[in-house]
Amino acid sequence: MLYKQQGFVIRQTNYSESSKIITMLNEQGVQVPMMARGFNKPNNAFQTLKQGINETLFTYSKHKGMGTLTEVEPIHNYKAINKDFDLYYYASYIQEVVIRGMEGGLESKGFYVLLKKGFDLLEAGGERNAVLSFILIKMMKFYGVELQAEHCEICGETDYKLFDRYSYEHHGIICTNCFNELEHLRTVPVSNKVLYFAQLFKKTKILQMNSVKMSQENGENLRRFIEHLYDEYTGVFFKSRKLIETGHSEGIE
């Protein structure tokens, strides 16, 4: 049977000297592996898949077991991402966060929507750290983390001007009125701007996020805060994250 499905390549695995197994994430949020015969040969029919991140229409045949890829047709090429190494690293990080969050066989159209939204926002020039933070926040629940930045965990205060600490003991924000030496050991300083944006991103529906405008400083601080939560609560380290951190340490803008 012949299938046509829209999707993104999320994995490429060498199968033989001339062929690869291509795995795509389709619009339904399902990972589909396909054999691409002759992929490594010059002038093959799959050149589009060698040109970075693209939204692609895949045509493949399948009877039993793995499908066989027969044709690919580009739908949208993310030119800005593919020509900028630094931006490409952010896109790779976004993809890794989404795909690893699907481990265990999770399937949902929402994963595809989120991945595409992340790419679209980067392509449109959104502050890259903020875009990445939006994706990390939306994927938190699939890593067993719940973000709470709306009120003080001790007294219930909701005035953001009084928020400047995140408590790992209380798993949430504590305000300046409740902070003392006893609380100091298990808290990290966080600006109220970062906490405001974190909660805003959590509440904003994926399809309603049409642009991300934020200063680079606020974007970087937000990303680092969210990564701290992943470090503390999940123990997961994303390989693509190292590329971002290396780039910033070398002064890449």
**What does the alpha-carbon distance between residue 95 and residue 98 come to, in Å, rounded to a whole number?**
5
Q: Which of 206, 220, 199, 182 is nearest to 29 (CA)?
A: 206
Which class does domain 2-77 fall in? mainly beta
pLDDT, tens only, 56-91: 999 999 888 899 999 999 999 999 999 999 999 999
Instruction: Check residue 86 and give its pLDDT.
Output: 95
Instruction: Check residue 185 and give its pLDDT.
Output: 64
Instruction: Check residue 228 and give its pLDDT.
Output: 94
Give the HSE-up count for residue 12: Cα atoms under 13 Å, Cβ half-sphere: 14
- pTM score, two decimals? 0.92
71 in Cβ contact with 85 (< 8 Å): no
pLDDT, tens only, 240-250: 999 888 765 44
Task: Report how far apart, in Å, the C-alpha atoms of 249 and of each of 65, 204, 225, 237, 243 are.
Answer: 46, 31, 17, 18, 10
Section 24-49 average pLDDT: 93
Instruction: Check residue 248 and give its pLDDT.
Output: 54
What pLDDT band is residue 31 in, cutting at 50, 70 and 90?
A: very high
pLDDT, tens only, 118-166: 999 999 999 999 999 999 999 999 999 999 999 999 999 999 999 999 9
DSSP secondary-structure letter at 38? Answer: T
Instruction: Check residue 242 and give its pLDDT.
Output: 92
